[in-house]
A and B are shown apart, each in its own frame.
Chain A
Amino acid sequence: MATLVLLGGGACMKSKITFTLDGQTIEVPAGSTLLEACRQAGSEVPTLCHDDRLHPYGGCRMCLVEMEGAPRLVPACKTQVQADMQVRSQSEKLERVRTTIAQMLLSEHTPGNGVQEDQLQSYAKKNKVEAPLRFASSAAWEDRNRFLGFDPQACILCDRCVRYCDEVMQCSALEHVGQGSQARIQPTNGQSFLDTSCELCGGCISTCPTGALYEKQAVDADGKVKARVEQTEKTRTVCTFCGVGCVLDVHTHQRQVVKISAEAGVGSNDGHLCNKGRFAWQFIHHPDRLQQPLLRNADGHLQAASWEQAYARIREGFTRIQNQYGSDSIGFLASSRCTNEDVYTLQKLARAVIGTNNVHSCAAT
């Protein structure tokens, strides 16, 4: 009861704060960041190092805003709204500074290979930003793992992958090493991902804003990208590997799967996936994959059949066993890949149709 009151009270009584944003009085829930407030007010503030699922970092400086009384610009992602703040999120000065920061990032950035969206390039194209100088790119990164591709030349050191790996996965398989021009991201201790505590969940790919991290399976053996992300058709579906029900987006090109991603903020998984959900999809196009029921003929050879024929064979077999040995000679085991609804239906079948309580799900253990 006490818990209920606390939870309920917290949700309803969350206090509001008012402040001034771009000349308008805005009311936001206490504890909001300036970035959240800007989004609520419909003011578009660019971000690169920010991911709602991670602690604010304030490193890329794209989201700088003007705050009355502050000696310098402040990062909207990292600044909490205080009552009576006076903030400007759009101005000539801010546009100039944001453009300049994009120029700076572009000066050491080579566009990603296109498997993922490159948000820095998108911003640069939209706002016609070009770097006034080019620094030599970082060294390429070869890794013997089959799933995670890493192109340091497209990296902008936003630390999202490192923070994701620390904060969400608690694996610390990525690290930010060095300083200044030597600063770079690498799998911990500069080893292959396979020799770190990496679980190959690919969460770092999902959070990378420039496509420096990408799905290797979307690239041919000769290094050619199968399809750029904007060429793929996205189909939203639910993962069948377990009962959690993660929401997936399957990217296809010419009816072939290119990669699987998940969108942050959607479904119970909030963009997170495990290695199976993200990478284990080759069976879809495998020649051995069953695409219709098969029944053994009198010679013991498998032959294609219709679903009606298959169900008839099952019904026949179960009825024979039930008649000969009784209902309790039959048991039902549900796979952990079944949903709650599937498991419910299975036990209904066991109890109501067959008449046995021999039911179990492997997810129960």
Chain B
Amino acid sequence: MDIRCLEGLRGCGGAGFAAAFKWEAVRREAGGDKVVICNADEGEPGTFKDGWLLRHHVQTILRGMQKAAQHCGATRGFVYLRPEYQAHGGILLEAIAALVEEGLLSAGSGQVYAAQSFPGRPAVLASSGLSDCALASLDWHVQHGAQELVGQATAQGGVELAPPSHGYALPPRESGPIPPAPSSGHPFRLDLCWGGGAYICGEETALLESMEGRRPQPRHKPPFPTQSGLWGLPTLINNVETFWWAERLLTGDCKTPAGSHRLYSVSGAVQRPGVYEAPVGLSARALVEDFAGGLREGAEVSCWIPGGAATGILPGSLLDTPLSPDGLSAVGTAPGTAAVVIYSQPTDPRTIAAQIMRFFAQESCSQCTPCRLGCRAAAAWLEGSEAFPQVEVEAQWLEAMELGSICGLGFTAPLVLRQWRRWFCSAEVPA
């Protein structure tokens, strides 16, 4: 398969790694036992475009996965689905059945499994009746009381803790023979695996650990999943949206060049929160005004998130910054998951930064010291329950988190505090 049209397509799960590079890396690995995983553990606070895609374009995503499998020589595939996305499970299984019928997926596809979570983690959140937008940020908002968005969630059906509804087994290592799919001739069995329910399960190696039945703690890299992923097999892991773009690019359905557009999740103090396809490089102001119907009546921007909670907060004066890698890097951050959240006055930016940091502190898998205790300290400083230390001590703690954490949760978390300091706080040692 010629995948040159994918040049320029960056992974849409937050890290922005070149998609075609991964596809080629898995293809080059020897052996026929390979795996393709669609990461649908959409957990970055503020992000809900994957949930929207699964509801509205599920077949396109699955076709993209099938093409990836055929290209890489993978015979097994899984959609790793966030357990709060209960309704999406049924949609996925229906779509898988339709593609088996069509002859694109091997007979026997559509099994349902469940990954391991953290022992002691509370049950998943009940999600019936919530919009994707409200659903996406449930755990964050509920646990940490980000009132502005909790309002939207509760208004649409309430929020309560529910026991995990599944009693499914872990995905088995042995699959038995997989027959070739009639229309493609390539054997590819695609199943559903309910995720472990924690934020960190969306980190690709924690995802693999949870599928193998262990605590979802990220692995050390290298080896990368493309070399040694699920059960040690070469594994391609892409985000939902990445497969969606790949399928549209490979079939010629997409008229815009690879990587020139993204799906933006826009929420907060805007007229029409939702998912919008827009060119990369558009400013947040244009996104809000031209797509999301403008700011809510009378709202004045207090701060905003450019690409999901991990990308930190920016002041209203930077709403004209292009949401491109270069544009955002100039203001100290990155496009992340392309989730733009607008907070209005009188919300205190420090409260938002503190809530994000508390979220990271709670969601830290607790494997490595800098993330487990660095996030906890930074959250306490921002919340005011612990006094900020001397500037040098704070700098050393953030440095240790950035240089010494195992995964992206720990090494990007300091950004939230840095951004708040850079744009909102003038005191050397804040009160």
Contacts and interface: CB of A to CB of B under 8 A. Distances in A.
Contacts of B369: 59-61, 101, 104-105, 156
B366 A107 contact: no
A180 B198 contact: no
Interface in B182-241: 198, 200, 215, 220
A269 B30 CA distance: 41
Contacts of B397: 100, 103-104
A343 B393 CA distance: 65
Contact of A182 (B120, B370, B374, B399): B120
B126 interface: no
Interface in B119-152: 119-121
A179 B376 contact: no
B154 to A, nearest CB: 25
Given A108-B373, A133-B386, A180 B366 contact: yes
Interface stretch (B327-335, B346-354, B357-365): B357-365
A183 B371 CA distance: 13
A133 B377 contact: yes
B364 A179 contact: yes
A157 interface: yes
A92 to B, nearest CB: 12
B325 interface: no
Interface stretch (A5-13, A71-79, A142-150, A202-210): A71-79
B184 to A, nearest CB: 38
Contacts of A177: 118-120
A181 interface: yes
Nearest to A74: B220
Interface string A35-58: 000000000000000000000001
B278 interface: no
A132 B119 contact: no
Interface string B289-332: 00000000000000000000000000000000000000000000
Interface string A83-108: 00000000000001101110111011
B142 to A, nearest CB: 16
B interface SS class: helix
Contacts of B121: 178-179
Contact of A183 (B370, B372, B386, B396): B372
Interface in B388-431: 389-390, 393, 396-397, 399-400, 402-406, 411
A61 B400 CA distance: 9
B23 to A, nearest CB: 23
Contacts of A107: 373, 377
B297 to A, nearest CB: 38
B20 interface: no
Contacts of B365: 179
B111 interface: no
B366 A104 contact: no
A135 interface: yes
* Residue picked from A73, A78, A100, A107, most chain B C-beta under 10 Å: A100
A180 B376 contact: yes
* Residue picked from A60, A75, A183, most chain B C-beta under 10 Å: A183
A181 B393 CA distance: 21
B196 to A, nearest CB: 11
Contacts of A97: 396, 399-400, 403-404
Contacts of B368: 58-61
B367 interface: yes
A78 B221 CA distance: 10
A132 B393 contact: yes
A104 B364 contact: no
Nearest to B365: A179
A179 B366 contact: yes
A81 interface: no
Interface in A132-168: 132-133, 135, 156-157, 159
Contact of A101 (B370, B377, B386): B370
A100 B394 CA distance: 10
Contacts of A182: 120, 362
A176 interface: yes
A257 interface: no
B380 interface: yes
A104 B373 contact: yes
B404 A101 contact: yes
* Residue picked from A78, A101, A178, most chain B C-beta under 10 Å: A101
Contacts of B396: 96-97, 99-100, 103
B362 A181 contact: yes
Nearest to A158: B369
B375 interface: yes
Contacts of B364: 179-180, 183
Contact of B363 (A96, A99, A100, A179): A179
B296 to A, nearest CB: 33
A179 B210 CA distance: 14
Given A133-B389, A181-B362, A105 B373 contact: yes
A175 interface: yes
A64 interface: yes
Contacts of A179: 118, 121, 198, 200, 362-366
A159 B198 CA distance: 20
Nearest to A134: B386
A60 B313 CA distance: 30
B404 A132 contact: no
A212 to B, nearest CB: 15
Contacts of A181: 361-362, 376
A178 B119 contact: yes
A179 B365 CA distance: 5
Nearest to A104: B373
Contacts of B389: 132-133
B306 to A, nearest CB: 22
A75 B403 CA distance: 11
Given A60-B369, A72-B403, A180 B377 contact: no
Contacts of B118: 177-179
Nearest to B373: A104
A183 B373 contact: no
A97 B375 CA distance: 16
Given A133-B386, A157-B372, 7 more contacts: A96-B396, A100-B399, A103-B397, A105-B373, A133-B380, A178-B121, A180-B375
3 tightest A-B contacts by CB?
Answer: A183-B366, A177-B120, A104-B373
28 contacts: A59-B368, A60-B368, A64-B403, A72-B405, A73-B404, A75-B220, A79-B220, A96-B396, A97-B400, A100-B397, A100-B399, A103-B397, A104-B369, A104-B374, A105-B373, A107-B377, A132-B390, A133-B377, A133-B380, A159-B367, A176-B215, A178-B366, A179-B198, A180-B362, A180-B363, A180-B376, A181-B362, A183-B364
Interface of A: 58-61, 64, 72-73, 75, 78-79, 96-97, 99-101, 103-105, 107-108, 132-133, 135, 156-157, 159, 175-183
Interface of B: 118-121, 198, 200, 215, 220, 361-370, 372-377, 380, 386-387, 389-390, 393, 396-397, 399-400, 402-406, 411
